[in-house]
Structure 1
Amino acid sequence: MYTLIDYSLDNELALIGLRRAPVNALGHQLRLEIQAAFQQASADPAVKALIVYGRELPFCAGADIAEFGDAAFAASPALPELLIELASSAKPMVAAVGGLALGGGLELALACGYRIAEPKARLGFPEITLGLLPGAGGTQRLPRLVGAEKAVELILSGQLLNAKSALDLGIVDRLAGAADSLLDSACAFARELLGQSAPAFPAYPHAEPGVATSGAALPADFFADYAASKAAQWHGQVAPQGVLDAVQAACELPLAAGLQRETELFDALLESPQSKALRHLFFAEREAGKVPGIDASLPLRPIAKVAVIGAGTMGGGIAMNFANIGIPVVLLEQKREALDRGLAQIRKNYEISAKRGKLTQEQLEQRMALLQGSLDYADLADADLVIEAVFESMEVKRQVFATLDEVCKPGAILASNTSTLDIDQIAACTRRPQDVIGLHFFSPANVMRLLEVVRGKQTALDVLATALKLGKQIGKLPVVSGVCYGFIGNRMLEPYSREAYRLLLEGATPAQVDRVLTDLGLNMGVLSMYDLVGIDVGYLIRTPMRAVLAEDPSYCRLADELYTLGRYGQKSGRGMYIYEGRERRDDPEVLTMAERLAGELGIQRRSISDQEIHDRCLFMLINEGIQILDEGIALRAGDIDLVWTCGYGFPTWLGGPLHYAEQLGLERVLSGIRQYREQLGAYGELWFKPAALLEQLVAAGKTRISKD
């Protein structure tokens, strides 16, 4: 009868074991079987109580996201419908939470009258990360358990609670003993409830969720004030307001009416472009690790020791990633002062984490003990992976790799952290190009999640597979890129920033350009970004592009002028803007400089609309991404979107540049590029060349970006 459930009896207890691998996602078939098992147990007079648990699996990681937008998602019993039925049980139901109870899985647990969790369990509502709210009773039952204030914080954070925190909040009733079987503990709990003649569903501790924890009623404007306080943080996002509206309904409506209101709000968010964009990224992340030719049977290279060359900000951050997971690291520098400074900065970073309660002092010392400083390449002889993080110069990097070729053991993986340089040229100076790969970390490397894994022409499959797995182990999101100038991210950054700088010569102001981009939802405008990372860094990265100056003497000229003047951005107090501490203000000198350069270059200045700034910056960004896909530098459009949302601050709720292009309409993007190609004369002819793939997709009437 059951294929996804293990149904059994233990005297007066019905045991409903969920066994839909890998995480008991609540797809339609599992919902059907839960309903059937519940009805069977309810109808059996010998059954006095029910226990729902994960049979050799986590309790439940939530709804089956793959069903969203599919008929199966709403097919009866839909999850809200099923949980209303379970919550009306005439017999006590105990949810035995092992592993995970997330989203719909936690809602399943809340629909049971009682909950017990193993100590290592994690519980939470991550729906906000998909542009959704808990839509199967979470926004109604949780406030009645913990109060509206705590419910709002938990749901909007999307963060997971450990079992002890869930117990303290009142989300679970008790914890199983660390050495006890969770199911045995749940059975004992159920029998205890029966011995006490406990009600099937106890009264909610916060039957009136609108009453604050202090005992007083929440202020009448609590939800409006809360939204106002978060307006800047939520800029452009619709799901947070949906959560507030749903929890407010829990405070103002009876449970049944509140559940209906929650369903309406959930359905609206499910169909919103923002949720579709966030779900696109969710599935893109699942796909990113899939590389043709690599499967689980491919043997990986063991990584027991790592070496990092360069103890600066980037090298130190890279080293921390490996120490964090218990891998010893040798940190190599040329001079003792630089090495000591780098190790001191790592300790300082760990001390900051310790002050924030993220590390104990013992853990801090354990990690520092894994870091060995060295001034001698000979200490790298037994490293399994060496990552070079030195100055962004081909000559310097080739010297480093030639030395590594001499000192490193056979089979060691040699990686470069270059952000733009040709991995194949670097590999060519070794006798083992098959062992060379690019690992482009993003600064700060111990924080930023993106890792561009750059596959050279001769990079061995097992080297690539090892790098991908190791990237995940250190908490990164590895995305594979082929070899080209700038790989995926920085190659797309080049035309995006080029247009921003050119627009300044044509009449836009830095503040206007940045505002258009931040209004779209980017973390910061491209000009502010270069002030942050360093005008000098941008200058050096653009070095290979300077050959275009013969064709376009305006190419990034304003940025080059700032570099020449030593205006490197925040680090020097002046760049595109003036900085006084953390305060930024506009600089009239930059406008004067732009006017002078425009005159020298014969560029006519005019009023620039916000729409033109948007189109020229974004369409060039998108066009380059499509070209990268067409060339095979990126494996799929989703990989490009992940790079730009995780590494460059592109708004996740827009899904990344290529997903955003699909939402705008590929025909609109193409026509815009063609319009500026014609409108901008020789400049347009040079730069506004539509990617061939974009033209092909539009001609074929396609609405999605894909090479297939």
Structure 2
Amino acid sequence: MRKGPVLSHPVTMELHGDIAVIQVSNPPVNALSQAVRAGLSDTVTQAAEMAEVKAILICCAGRTFVAGADIREFGKPLMEPSLPDVIDQIEASTKPVVIALHGTALGGGLELALGGHYRIALASARFGLPEVMLGLLPGAGGTQRLPRLVPMSNAINMITSGGQIGAQDALEFGLIDQIASGDDIRNASLGYAKTLIETGAAPRPTSRLVCNPPEPGAMDAARAKLAKSARGQIAPQKALDALRGAIDLSFAEGLAQERALFKELMASDQRGAMIHAFFAERQVGKLDEIKGVAPRDVQTLGVVGGGTMGAGIATNALLAGLKVTLVERDSEATDRAYATVSGLLEGAMQRGKLGEAQYGEIMSDCFKTTTDYQEFAQSDIVIEAVFESIDVKKEVFEKLDAVCKPGAILASNTSYLDVDAIAAMTARPEDVIGLHFFSPAHVMKLLEIVVADRTAPEVTATGFALAKTLGKVAVRAGVCDGFIGNRILSHYRKALDGAVIAGASPFDVDRALVEFGLAMGPYAVSDLAGLDIGWATRKRLAPRRDPREAYAEFADRLCEMGRFGRKTGRGYYLYGEGRPAPDPEVDGIIAEERSAKGVIARALSDQEIVDRYMAAMVNEAARVVEEGIAQRPLDVDVTLLNGYGFPRWRGGPMYYADTVGPDKILRDITTFAAEDDFLWQPAPLLQRLVAEGKTFASLNT
């Protein structure tokens, strides 16, 4: 073996016989920085000029192949060489180029691999083009090369969904040529390259292959499907335009069209919003209070309560590799909880998220249900997920305080209640924290980490570390009724109820907000969650309700009639066979309330409904930020994006407010105050930002 010169860190080249091995080493994910692009260009040029080189192998050091662009270059002027030029250079090589893939090949990393002539991957490797998740499409030839290797239906799915596929699917589709045996991708790819040399394999540029045609009607069907599943998003539809170009145009023409579409999306508002969401989710866990603070070790987790939430938390923890003990009140409840968790894990197995052997190991060695709190004696953390009553939680925490080991963390999954009061029930308030999961807990990404007055910094750090283990997006919240998300929710729901009393129907509201980008309207969501949940909260808060509040009563009337939503077959909607249907009886109940209050109904436009929704949300969020319940506006955005269905392509409520202008939000509040000057009181922070000509983004640093 003869080592060649190092041309550019972090890309090196060395010779293994007649194979030039080019290695990228740009930890942690080998991102395609300018230095990497330049290094690849230089080393490929050098290898092409060396007479003794008969094949080129491109691989990566560390735990992964190139996992995408360098996020540090986002929003900055492009520095040469561009990625498309580097890929074109690799593809034009007169010597066979082998790409060795391990870890993840994502975005520009996969586009780089598509520019090689042959691809070999570890069985554990994964592949994806997630650009649509940033409001973009693959801009370095991905839309043109991928359908020349894989069936068009698979290319459409990968590019428009941004999802990943595994090595076995990649082999079956034609994305890769071989799955390496064992775990040493470097040696396996060297062996593959030697075989190619020995068999006289020639370069095989992907661009010269014929594009795989779609099935008849497939493109139109994909467009119609995306109009529903990606409602309002422009990137998936533009990606289909680019894929259409791969079918109808020459490679060069298709590449030019892809680039034009990419530039169009780069200039779009949606791209800016989704980039904001991307960075906000990476910034949200960076807190001064836990900087440099080591979290406590968590291997064993306890759950109190085996209902929907408790079973979901247990399932989430088991899938993350933790050992779980779940306590219920009696043997019938423990059996029911065991069956629920087992069923959820079986569902994960059916979706390919869990192997059969893993399932058996979890159920036999990692999970148990019991009625005995003493089983929590060695748990590292115990999460309470019982009925939302301070008296019930007091009883639970007194038991936990008595049996849990020193240093064990006691966490409450409360949605609204005072975590300081819960912590005061124990002799270890520094070990108490709120961990507010969202239902279904094994699916929803958001975890509000509620830090009480006496919560120790290492306990907060442990909450964030646990969230990462569980695959959650964690947001720090302060203590107040409802924390960040539910507090804001209660405010905008009052505003929407006010819109209904003014003249809109709940079904008008749902339709307008679905068109705005929500997956479900708020009244349909209430039906899904159960109307009795909100009813219990309203009754709990009734003694504190300000007499000046214009309280809408129709939701209470529905609950008094036993209409709790989907679970009772009736709520705002009727639930039978087929799609949920609006219920005229609901309109009658609301009409009676309007009459009793002397309100003459008027028509509200969809835009007014959206304006009320956003003004109420932003106004209360401004208070949440000013009070320190959320530390920054971006914390609010991450919360609403990941827990409340706010459309990602709008960036979050605070980003949206900056887009339309805080002054517009303030004007709307002033307008609506003519109808209800108690609900529509402008937040001081909002008023100050408008007066100073600033945005919410100015508070994120």
Report if TM-score (shorter chain) is over 0.5: yes
Aligned equivalent of 2:507: 511
Find the counterpart in structure 1 of residue 537 from structure 2.
541
Matched, 1:160 2:156: no
Superimposed CA distance per residue, residues 196-245 of structure 1 (whole angstroms, 9 cap, x where no aligned partner): 332223577x9332535xxxxx43x5423331243211211111111111
1:589-640 deviations in Å (ceiling 9; x for gaps): 2222222222323334322222221111221011111221122111222221
Match of 2:329 among 325, 330, 334: 334
Please give the secondary structure, in 1, of the residue aligned with 2:228.
coil
Which residue is 2:3 aligned to? none
**C-alpha root-mean-square deviation of aligned residues, in Å?**
1.9
- Deviation of 1:357 after TM superposition, in Å, equals 4.2
The residue number in structure 2 matching 1:454 is: 450
Task: Say whether the 8 Å CA contact 2:27–2:62 is kept in structure 1.
Answer: no
1:68 aligns with 2:74: yes
Cα pair distance change 1:373/1:191, threshold 3 Å: closer
Pair 1:320-2:315 in alignment: yes
Q: By how many angstroms is 1:443 displaced?
A: 0.8
> For residues 582 and 623 of structure 1, do their structure 2 counterparts lie closer, same or farther at Cα, with a shift above 3 Å needed?
farther
Q: Which residue of 1 aligns with 2:485?
A: 489
The alpha carbon displacement at 1:102 in A equals: 0.9
**Shift, 1:76, TM fit:** 1.9
Segment of structure 1 superposing worse, 162-171 or 100-109: 162-171
Matched, 1:113 2:108: no
Counterpart for residue 237 of structure 1: 233
Among 347, 364, 367, the residue aligned to 2:359: 364
Contact 1:637 1:706 in 2 (8 A): no
CA deviation after TM superposition for structure 1 residue 518, in Å = 0.6
Percent identical residues = 43
In 2, distance between residues paired with 1:555 and 1:365? Answer: 52
Q: Which residue of 1 aligns with 2:432?
A: 436
Equivalent residue number for residue 189 of structure 1: 192
Corresponding residue number in structure 1 for 2:566: 570
**Alpha-carbon shift at residue 392 of structure 1 (Å):** 0.5
Matched residue, 1:211: 213
Choose from 397, 408, 412 the match for 1:412: 408
Q: Measured at CA, do residues 563 and 222 of structure 1 come closer, stay the same or move farther in structure 2, by a change above 3 Å?
A: closer
Q: Are residue 393 (structure 1) and residue 383 (structure 2) matched?
A: no
Opposite residue 601 of structure 1, the aligned amino acid is: K
1:615-626 equivalences in 2 (<5 Å): 615-626=611-622
State the one-letter code of the partner of 2:185.
L
Return the alpha-carbon distance in structure 1 between the equivalents of residues 544 and 584 of structure 2.
29
Please list the CA deviations of residues 46-96 of structure 1 after superposition, one character each: whole Å capped at 9, or x if unmatched: 33322111123522011223323210xx32211112211221112221111
Q: Give the whole-Å Cα distance in 2 for the aligned partners of 1:645 and 1:328.
A: 30
Deviating beyond 6 angstroms after TM superposition, the runs of 4 or more aligned structure 1 residues are none
The code of the aligned residue for 1:145 comes to L
Name which of structure 1's ranges 667-676 and 485-494 shifts more when overlaid on structure 2.
667-676
1:699 aligns with 2:695: no
Please tell me the residue identity of whatever aligns with 1:342: A
Q: CA deviation at 1:388?
A: 0.8
**Which deviates the most, 570-579 or 480-489?**
570-579
Residues 1:605 and 1:203: Cα distance change in structure 2 (over 3 Å): closer
Tell me which amino acid in the other structure corresponds to 2:488.
M
Secondary structure at the aligned position of 2:229 is classed as: coil
SS at match of 2:622: helix
Equivalent of residue 686 in structure 1, options 671, 678, 682: 678
8 A Cα contact 2:149 2:206, kept in partner:
no
The code of the aligned residue for 1:134 comes to P
Matched, 1:308 2:300: no
Asked if the contact 2:633/2:696 (under 8 Å) is kept, the reply is: no
Name 1:130's counterpart in structure 2.
Answer: 134
Match of 2:26 among 16, 20, 31: 20
Letter in 1 for 2:209: A
Q: Which amino acid aligns with 1:89?
A: S
What SS does the aligned partner of 2:482 have? Answer: coil
Please list, as runs of the form range in 1=range in 2, the aligned pairs for 1:596-607 lying within 5 A after superposition.
596-607=592-603
Measured in 2, the distance between the counterparts of 1:405 and 1:582 equals 49
| Residues in 1 aligned to 2:475 and 2:568: alpha-carbon distance in whole angstroms | 34
1:469 partnered with 2:465: yes
Verify the 8 A CA contact 1:509 1:591 in the aligned structure 2: yes
Give the letter for the 1:584 counterpart.
P
User: How many pairs were matched up?
Assistant: 693
CA contact 1:99–1:122 (8 Å) conserved in 2:
yes
Say which SS state the counterpart of residue 444 (structure 1) adopts.
Answer: coil
Structure 1 residues 224 and 324, CA gap change in structure 2 (3 angstroms): closer
Q: Is the 8 A contact 2:416 2:483 kept in 1?
A: yes
2:81 counterpart residue number: 77
Bigger mean CA deviation after superposition, 247-256 or 156-165: 156-165
Deviation at 1:544, TM superposition (A): 4.8
Per-residue deviation, residues 511-555 of structure 1 (Å, max 9, x unmatched): 101111111010111111111111110011234542464424531
SS in 2 for 1:493: helix
1:511–1:170 Cα change, 3 Å: same
- Give the secondary-structure state (helix, strand or coil) at the position aligned to 1:580: coil
Q: What is the one-letter code of the residue matched to 1:313?
A: T
DSSP 3-state at the match of 1:108: helix
Unaligned stretches of 5+ residues in structure 1: 213-217
Indicate the residue corresponding to 1:591 in structure 2. Answer: 587
The aligned counterpart of 1:299 is: 294
Give how far 1:434 is off. Answer: 0.3
Q: Which one is further off, 121-130 or 492-501?
A: 121-130
- Work out whether residues 12 and 39 of structure 2, in 8 Å CA contact, stay in contact via their aligned partners in 1: no
Which stretch shows the higher mean deviation, 342-351 or 426-435? 342-351
Which of 638, 641, 647 aligns to 2:643? It is: 647
Q: Would you say 1:42 and 2:48 are equivalent positions?
A: yes
Instruction: Give the whole-Å Cα distance in 2 for the aligned partners of 1:665 and 1:584.
Output: 37
One-letter amino acid matched to 2:178: R
Select between 652-661 and 453-462 the one with higher mean Cα deviation: 652-661
CA drift at 1:147: 3.4
TM-score by length of 2: 0.95
Matches within 5 A, 1:96-111: 96-111=100-115
Report Cα offsets for 1:241-278 as digits up to 9, x if no partner: 11111111111111111111111111111221112211
In the alignment, residue 115 of structure 2 is paired with which amino acid? A
Partner of 1:215: none
CA contact (8 A) 2:484 2:630 kept: yes
Mapped partners of 1:346, 1:640: distance in 2? 31
